[in-house]
Structure 1
Amino acid sequence: MAELILASQSPRRRELLATLGIEFATLAANIDESVLPAEAPRAYVDRLALAKAQAGRKLLAQTQTQDCWVLGADTSVVIDDQILGKPASKDEFQAMMRLLSGRTHQVLTGIALVSNSQCYRDLVTSEVSFMALSEQQMSAYWQSGEPLDKAGGYGIQGLGGVFVTRIAGSYSAVVGLPLHETARLLGQARFSLCQGLLPF
């Protein structure tokens, strides 16, 4: 069976993928994550997931000849067709929180599984509703340090989860890797999951 590589250094994605019971390695796939002119959020997320997987394959091609599968993923928080990245400052974070406060936004997660000759892709949309936030709550959350490396400025699996009043869709996709869709793609690539859960 071909080896599986996760083209991500995200601890959240590593933990989620590990739950599927498949051995894998990780590598950092550094790509330009800039949004292209007039690029729609869904197209952006799909493109980045594929670009990360392809960047991982290119890195591996320099060090090994054996074919393997590379899994890339990208998650973006979207509201009013605006992609919210990782906040670079407290002011930027507060602007994001004011947009999300008391409203429902979308979390888009794209996944791409590629080998030398094949490619499987999917994109998952989840809706997340926030409570109305006070300026004091926003400031306290910023001081926790959690928002710094999170798309949209919050982590649903951490302290930011207290702001979430409702989620429609895939919780694991909001965290960073949709388990159901990832398992399905791995099944298409002939991987076997723990406890014989595949194929499905």
Structure 2
Amino acid sequence: MEGNTSPFKLILGSASAPRRQVLAEMGYEFITMSADIDEKAIRKEKPEDLVMALAEAKAEAIIPRLNIDESMEDAEPMLLITCDQVVVYEGMIREKPENKEEAREFIKDYSNGQAATISSVLVTNLKTGKKRGELDKVEIYFHEIPEDVMDKLIEEGTVLYVAGGLLIEHPLIQPYIKRVAGATDSVMGLPKALTQRLITEVL
């Protein structure tokens, strides 16, 4: 689908490069806005509850900055996509690593092991106020990850900015992925099929 022919405007409420990549692959043109919320201030015991609460908090932070006014009644719909993701390892929620040491610890744990990503996607129709949110879960199984690969990943630095230090699309880590039960785009933070369905449902 060509983005410029879509009958609505699209805002991705995320600064994440992988999410931008996934949405562009879906054929959409969009603008990005970052919510800039204190994610650590929102705590939930269940990962599913946490990612959904964060997606909602991001939408609540972005919407007031959009200056939506009465004139929107005649305008084309404007949709806002907000999302969040955590990695779950042995029942524990993992967010972005605090530092290089924690990133190494995380990756070491995945070696010969498994982890899961739990993602939320919330699509809000800013013209009608209608919103739909859902969760997606993917399980990732790893071969042994060599120490020198961990060194390179940490030195390169991208792992410090993603949930659980987990980047399965990274060329350095790809050879050590044994199996992915679910969609790679979901691990990148934006499950395509789910996002497309939610967009359709709020229009």
Bucket of the pairwise TM-score, normalised by the shorter protein: 0.7 to 0.9
Q: 5+ residue gaps in structure 2?
A: 1-6
Of 8, 12, 17 in structure 1, the residue corresponding to residue 14 of structure 2 is 8
Shift, 1:166, TM fit: 0.6
Match of 1:146 in 2: 158
The count of residues paired between Structure 1 and Structure 2 equals 190
Kindly indicate whether residue 57 of structure 2 is the aligned counterpart of residue 51 of structure 1.
Answer: yes
Give the match's secondary structure for 1:8. coil
Q: Which moved more, 1:31-40 or 1:115-124?
A: 31-40
Match of 2:99 in 1: 89
**1:106-125 alignment runs, 5 A limit:** 106-116=116-126, 117-125=129-137
Measured at CA, do residues 100 and 55 of structure 1 come closer, stay the same or move farther in structure 2, by a change above 3 Å?
same
Residues 68-98 of structure 1 deviation map (CA, whole Å, 9 limit, x = unaligned): 2210011211112212222232211121122
Residues 76-128 of structure 1 deviation map (CA, whole Å, 9 limit, x = unaligned): 11112212222232211121122222111111110001134211111000000
CA contact (8 A) 1:128 1:164 kept: yes
RMSD of Structure 2 on Structure 1 (CA): 2.1
Letter in 2 for 1:160: I
Measured at CA, do residues 144 and 162 of structure 1 come closer, stay the same or move farther in structure 2, by a change above 3 Å?
farther
CA contact (8 A) 2:124 2:202 kept: no
Find the aligned partners of 1:10 and 1:189 in 2 and give their Cα distance.
Answer: 23
Find the aligned partners of 2:27 and 2:104 in 1 and give their Cα distance.
Answer: 39
Q: 5+ residue gaps in structure 1?
A: 191-200
TM-score, length-normalised on structure 1?
0.85
TM-score, length-normalised on structure 2?
0.84
Match of 1:193 in 2: none
Of 27, 30, 37 in structure 2, the residue corresponding to residue 31 of structure 1 is 37
Match of 2:3 in 1: none
Measured at CA, do residues 151 and 36 of structure 1 come closer, stay the same or move farther in structure 2, by a change above 3 Å?
same
Give the match's secondary structure for 2:173. helix
Match of 1:196 in 2: none
Of 141, 155, 179 in structure 1, the residue corresponding to residue 192 of structure 2 is 179
Measured at CA, do residues 37 and 71 of structure 1 come closer, stay the same or move farther in structure 2, by a change above 3 Å?
closer
Give the match's secondary structure for 2:40. coil
Give the match's secondary structure for 2:87. strand
